[in-house]
């Protein structure tokens, strides 16, 4: 499978697909070099190299997760606490606004 085909179905490439793409690229370079046409095919090589680079990056990020920042458990807990506090604050503000509106209506009715 070529790098373009792997990107079209939007699933991360498998280890076998990455390996096959690398071998295909190296075979193409060797063949062009043996035919003494390597330098004449630089635009083709650059395009294929770009496709291969995208595939390798996607594999590293989505499959191996080696390029993702490592998350410290204490940081995760801190973010959870902050998220919950913000949610509670939002709920309290909404409740206070509703209570203020309800109180104003009760005061007008008396």
Q: For residue 8, what are the contacts with CB-CB under 8 A and spacing of at least 6?
A: none
pLDDT for the residue 12: 86
Mean confidence (pLDDT) of the chain = 82
Number of domains forming the structure of the chain: 2
Same domain, 104 and 81: yes
Same domain, 56 and 87: no
Pairwise pLDDT comparison (36 vs 8), residue with the higher score? 36
High-pLDDT (> 90) share of the chain, %: 46
Same domain, 8 and 40: yes
Nearest to 22 by CA among 47, 2, 41, 36: 2
Question: Which residue range forms the structural domain that includes residue 89?
Answer: 71-110
Q: Is the pLDDT of residue 7 over 50?
A: no
Same domain, 59 and 9: yes
The model's confidence at residue 35, banded by pLDDT at 50, 70 and 90, is very high
How buried is 38 (Cβ within 10 angstroms: 0-12 exposed, 13-18 middle, 19+ buried)? middle
Same domain, 37 and 55: yes
pLDDT for the residue 63: 77
Residue count (the chain): 110
Chain-centre distance for alpha carbon 73 = 21
> Is the Cβ–Cβ distance between 50 and 56 less than 8 Å?
no
């Amino acid at each position: 499978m070529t790098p373009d085909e792997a990107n079209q179905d939007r699933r991360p490439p498998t280890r076998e697909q990455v390996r096959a793409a690398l071998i295909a690229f190296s075979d193409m370079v060797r063949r062009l070099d043996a035919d003494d046409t390597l330098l004449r095919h630089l635009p083709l090589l650059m395009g294929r190299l770009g496709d291969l680079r995208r595939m390798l990056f996607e594999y590293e990020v989505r499959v191996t997760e080696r390029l993702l920042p490592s998350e410290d458990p204490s940081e995760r807990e801190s973010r959870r606490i902050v998220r919950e506090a913000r949610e509670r604050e939002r709920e309290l503000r909404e409740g206070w606004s509703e209570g203020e509106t309800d109180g104003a209506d009760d005061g007008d009715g008396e």
